[in-house]
Amino acid sequence: MVLLVGILLYAVMPPAFAWLSHLPLLLFSRFLLGILHCSLCFTSYILAVEVVEAKYRTVTGFTLMLGWAAGVIWFGALGYMERSWRLLQTFGSLSLLLLMPFVLVMDESPRWLMVKGRRDDAIRVFRRAASWHKVSLPSDEELLPLNDESPSPKKVSDEKKIVKSTYTLVMDEVLALLRTPRLRIITLLLYITYLVSAMVYYGLSLSGGEMSGNPFFYMVLSGLVEVPAYTLLIPIVQRAGRRIPGFIAFLLCALALFALVIIPTEYSGVIMALALMGKVGITGAFQVTIFFSSELFPTEVRSRGVGTCFMMSRIGSILSPIIMDVVGKHYKPGPSIVFGVGSLVAALAIFLLPETLGLALPDTISDLENRKPTDERQSRCWSLMRRQRVQEESKQDTTKEDHSPLV
């Protein structure tokens, strides 16, 4: 339902907003479109990752972003043909109406329905999918254990009442990601990688005037280089995992950005090549980060976790033009240095995350907290999270002992 309403609004609102003449209203409309953009991105991505089999998860997660690359190419070409931003926004937004027939036949994620205690709805989705694929589901008696493993609707409802009576809804949405040690560290590290990824990505995407004499040609090229960044990473991520490829992609971007600092401005071809090389690196790193986060967050907080991560990416995209204008005004290579240092920080952050290759998606926070790594050398972050968890548990035990009645 969120996806359906979001696409409908995103197709109707931009053409109407494009013809506003009052600047405050225009800015407010951009704010609303930014909220819709994030909602559509993470909702559709999470839905796709949750419903496919584990062996197709990597291919699905990465090929989904080919549509984004096509959009960048399309807007570069459309901007060259139509220089009026009002008409450009109108024509570009109406294309979303083509998605409406597909969205109308989509179902909710059965994994999410099971976690939320909506067992009958989940089984209904399973049966509908089985009829499409012309396969038969087990009988109701065989599906009964599946029903028993999920929380009952009454239990979920009671838990929600308890939470709402203790905290406000907003505080619960935020604190759920910071309440337990392992999820807390994962969340904070992902916030760093999302913020830097968006900051550098949009910094390189919107710097056509600095990197090339033809910004439209540069935008088309920047979209074209995203295609190999998405597709070539698929076999690498399937075999090497998520952590190391993301780490290397951030390093590649940082090296390209630092190289831009020392190249003289008269070497325009070399500058554009390095900028596109950095775009390949940050595109791959951003995609690995998005895919990684969809596997790290448990199902019960996955939408919340990825949603707040995209919120952090919006902060990075806000900082990007500020860095380019303010820092670049005083020191022209400054933005490349800032983006390069940020890429190094993000490389360290993604390196500290626990690997998810070959692991099932966690459904609850308890599943994540009790998960053991397949290889202790995969992540230095596991020992830190375990140590922090033991310390918090010991503090809780000490508090209970201090308040226990004397015998």
9 & 39 share domain: yes
For helices 243-262 and 233-240, the axis angle rounded to 10 degrees is 130
Rounded Cα distance between 1 and 263, Å, is: 51
Choose between 283 and 37: higher pLDDT. Answer: 283
Could you tell me if residue 292 is inside a domain? yes
For helices 233-240 and 268-296, the axis angle rounded to 10 degrees is 40
- Residue 99 is given by DSSP the state G
Strand stretches in 335-386, DSSP E: none
Specify the number of domains making up the chain. 2
Res. 385: pLDDT tops 50: yes
102 & 119 share domain: no
Which residue segment(s) compose the domain that 127 sits in?
110-166
150 & 36 share domain: no
Q: Measured between alpha carbons, how far is residue 345 from residues 185, 192, 196, 339, 364 in Å?
A: 15, 8, 8, 10, 29
Chain-wide mean pLDDT for the chain?
80
Please report, rounded to a whole number, the percentage of residues in the chain having pLDDT higher than 90. Answer: 25
Whether the CB-CB separation of 185 and 388 falls below 8 Å is answered with: yes
Residue type, 48: A
Could you tell me if residue 372 is inside a domain? no
Rounded Cα distance between 343 and 199, Å, is: 10
149 & 222 share domain: no
Half-sphere exposure of 157 (CA within 13 A, CB side): 4
Q: Which of 351, 383, 400 is at the close of a domain?
A: 351
Q: Kindly state the tokens that stand for 100.
A: 């409406």
Q: What is the model's pTM?
A: 0.76
Choose between 374 and 211: higher pLDDT. Answer: 211
233 & 88 share domain: yes
Residue type, 347: A
Rounded Cα distance between 188 and 37, Å, is: 23
187 & 259 share domain: yes
Q: Which of 148, 166, 184 is at the close of a domain?
A: 166
213 & 95 share domain: yes
Res. 26: pLDDT tops 90: no
211 & 152 share domain: no
pLDDT given at position 406 = 44
Choose between 249 and 112: higher pLDDT. Answer: 249
Rounded Cα distance between 11 and 93, Å, is: 5
Res. 396: pLDDT tops 70: no
Residue 148 is inside which H or E element, if any?
Answer: helix 140-149
Whether the CB-CB separation of 90 and 103 falls below 8 Å is answered with: no
88 & 68 share domain: yes
For the segment 27-42, what is each residue's pLDDT rounded down to a tens digit? Answer: 888 888 877 777 777 7
For the segment 143-189, what is each residue's pLDDT rounded down to a tens digit? Answer: 655 555 454 444 444 444 444 554 466 666 667 788 888 999 999 99
CATH number at 301 reads 1.20.1250.20
Could you tell me if residue 102 is inside a domain? yes
pLDDT given at position 166 = 46
Cα-Cα-Cα-Cα dihedral sign, residues 13, 15, 20, 24: positive
Could you tell me if residue 122 is inside a domain? yes
Could you tell me if residue 304 is inside a domain? yes
